[in-house]
Each structure stands twice: as C-alpha cells, then as structure tokens.
Amino acid sequence: MLSRYVAYLIVSLFISFSLSVIADEQSQEAQKRAKFFANANLQEKAPAAFALQPQARDFLNNVSAKSFQQADKLVEAILADSELKQALAKWPELSITQQLPYLRKIFALECEVMAIEPPTLLIDTNTYPNRAVNFVFNTEFTGNIVDTGTVYLNPEKLTEQPHYGPLAFIIHETRHSYQYQLAQRNQPDVISQAYKHAFIAQKQLSGFSFSDFLTLNNEYEAFLFGNYVVGRLTNWQVDILNMGTYASQFDEQGQLKIDLPKMATSLSENESLLPHYNKAAEAQYLER
Ligand SMILES: [Zn+2]
C-alpha cells in the first residue's frame, strides 16, 4: 500500500514538474515574441513616429521615391570609382581593417550625393565598447542645423558582423545624419516632420521591441536606403537578416520582403498597419 502511495506521489510530482517546464517554455516563447513583434501600446504613445501608424501614412507613401532616387545616385557614384568597384568585387575577402579606407570613401560619397554637411565620423573600440555602430544625436529642432550628429563604427565589434554588414551599416548610419539635418531644419513637410517625431520618440520612449524600434520612421527609411544600395551593388544576392525588419529588406529579385506602402493601399486612412505587419513578420521571426 505504501509503495503504491509513493509511486502515486512520484507520478504526480513528475507531472507537475513537466507542466511547469512546459509553462516555463511557453512564457519564454511569449517573451521572445514580445521582444520581436510590434506593440500597439508603445507605438500609440507617439503615433507620428512609427511607419506602421496611420499618422505616418503620408510619410510612408511618399518617402521611398526620394530615397531610391538618392540611393541610385550613390550606387552610380560608387560604381564610377574604379578603386571602390574593384574593392566591392572582392569584398568578402577583405578584413575590416582593409575595408575601412573604402568605408570612409563611401561615407564621403554619400554625404556628397545627399548634399549634407558630413557628420563626425568616429572609428574606435572604446567609445561604445558594446556596440558595433551608433548614430549620436540630440533632439533640439529649432529650424537651424546646429549639429550633424556622429556616425560611430567599432571595428572590433564589426568583425562579428556578416561580410557586408560594415558596408550596409556605414550607409545606414550616414543616412541618419541626412534625416537628422532635415529634422533640425524643421520644415513643415511630411518627411521632415516624420523624422523629427521619430528622433524624439527614439530618445523619449523605452521598451521598444525589435519591430517597434526598426519601424520608427528614421530606422525604417535608413535601412530601406542602405539595404537598397547594398542590394543594387551585389545584384540583390546578399541577405543580411539583422539589417532592419523585412519591411526594409529586399529579396533576391530586388522586391521588398514586406511592402508596407502596398499593404496600406487595402486599408482605410485611419487603420493601423501594425497587425498586418505583425502577421507578415512571422517569416522573419522564424528565420532569426
Ligand atoms: Zn539606425
């Protein structure tokens, strides 16, 4: 009788242990999902800052034409430079130290094409030891350009990136200076205001998921811009999974993996793209 009781106890303990393991795994999965997908509660705190929100719909519908036009100019400028063209042909063989002079050159060309005052370019391993790249900015938008921002590269951390990561990142971070300078001019147009709202939200909000942060107007567009340039330079054959959300990434035919402006055409003016984006973003969640 006693042994039957012990057996019963062991089985019950085992079941409750297994259930708690399952519950634990489920809550870990729920946490992972919360960190990846877009959150309406957070985005609604600054709806004009996020490309998924109806308040940024005009920005979403109008930004890419100009972005791709400037990105095309940059691609042409890079390809017109025979040294850069040669370097790009053997890019995966180059170490980060060998890439740096070319990255500096691309940085200069990008500033020229975008007609901006170049930001400070800071390349070291100790200013932000835990970051591969950074764009440093303030949020004083007075109507005058008082700061070009700082583009930061950490060569040590960049070695952990895929081969084309440093190239994609220098273009991305430098693009932020263009956006930042537009925001500081504080003109009333849709695009300048969208960037201004995004820079402010980036500083003021906390608790961003991967998708929240990367669908801020400025992040969405800077990844769109950088990925487009790298895509054209590599005939769309390079896929860097962590370069923004699928809404800013291209497939090997040069098509957006998630086409937000196209998705928006089937929505009413006041309807959020967020749930539709989240549904489409399952593919990136599974790929990561
Ligand atoms: Zn960025």
CA 136–ligand 1 middle distance (angstroms):
10
- Nearest residue to 158 (alpha-carbon basis) of 234, 239, 217, 103: 103
CA 249–ligand 1 middle distance (angstroms):
14
CA 170–ligand 1 middle distance (angstroms):
10
3-state class (DSSP) for residue 97? helix
Amino acid at 6: V
CA 105–ligand 1 middle distance (angstroms):
20
CA 204–ligand 1 middle distance (angstroms):
16
- Nearest residue to 49 (alpha-carbon basis) of 204, 184, 176, 171: 204
CA 210–ligand 1 middle distance (angstroms):
12
- Nearest residue to 226 (alpha-carbon basis) of 173, 168, 179, 177: 168
Predicted confidence (pLDDT) at residue 1 exceeds the cutoff of 60: no
Helices 217-233, 190-204: axis angle to 10 degrees equals 110
User: Rounded CA gap, 213 and 146, in Å?
Assistant: 25
CA 134–ligand 1 middle distance (angstroms):
7
Please state the three-class secondary structure of 198-214 as a single string.
HHHHHHHCCCCCHHHHH
Amino acid at 189: D
CA 222–ligand 1 middle distance (angstroms):
6
CA 281–ligand 1 middle distance (angstroms):
19
pLDDT digits (tens, 9 = 90+) for 23-34: 788 899 999 999
Question: The tokens 């006693």 sit on which residue?
Answer: 2
User: Rounded CA gap, 33 and 29, in Å?
Assistant: 6
CA 174–ligand 1 middle distance (angstroms):
9
Which pLDDT score is estimated for 2? 56
CA 176–ligand 1 middle distance (angstroms):
7
- Angle, CA 171 vertex, CA 213 and CA 70 arms, to 5°: 100
> Which range, of 15-29, 166-180, 229-243, averages the lowest pLDDT?
15-29
Q: Residues lining ligand 1 (ion), CB within 5 A?
A: 219, 222
Share of the chain above pLDDT 90, in %: 89
The average confidence (pLDDT) of the chain is 94
Predicted confidence (pLDDT) at residue 281 exceeds the cutoff of 60: yes
Q: Tell me the C-alpha to C-alpha distance, in Å, between residue 36 and each of 48, 104, 201, 219, 257.
A: 21, 33, 18, 15, 17
Q: Which residues contact 169 (CB under 8 A, 6 or more apart)?
A: 132, 133, 153, 158, 161, 226
User: Rounded CA gap, 22 and 17, in Å?
Assistant: 9
CA 219–ligand 1 middle distance (angstroms):
5
Predicted confidence (pLDDT) at residue 124 exceeds the cutoff of 80: yes
pLDDT digits (tens, 9 = 90+) for 78-121: 999 999 999 999 999 999 999 999 999 999 999 999 999 999 99
Counting beta carbons within 10 angstroms of the beta carbon of residue 89, is it exposed (0 to 12), middle (13 to 18) or buried (19 or more)? Answer: exposed
CA 171–ligand 1 middle distance (angstroms):
10
CA 33–ligand 1 middle distance (angstroms):
22
CA 203–ligand 1 middle distance (angstroms):
13
pLDDT class of 13 with cuts at 50, 70, 90: low
Which pLDDT score is estimated for 26? 83
Share of the chain above pLDDT 70, in %: 93
Question: The tokens 């705190």 sit on which residue?
Answer: 45
Predicted confidence (pLDDT) at residue 10 exceeds the cutoff of 90: no
Question: Is residue 19 within 8 Å of residue 27, measured between CB atoms?
Answer: no
- Residue range 175-189: average pLDDT? 97
- Nearest residue to 179 (alpha-carbon basis) of 145, 205, 204: 145
Question: The tokens 């400025």 sit on which residue?
Answer: 218
Amino acid at 190: V
CA 220–ligand 1 middle distance (angstroms):
8
- Nearest residue to 257 (alpha-carbon basis) of 280, 286, 234, 285: 280
> Which range, of 23-37, 184-198, 203-217, 268-282, averages the lowest pLDDT?
23-37
CA 13–ligand 1 middle distance (angstroms):
50
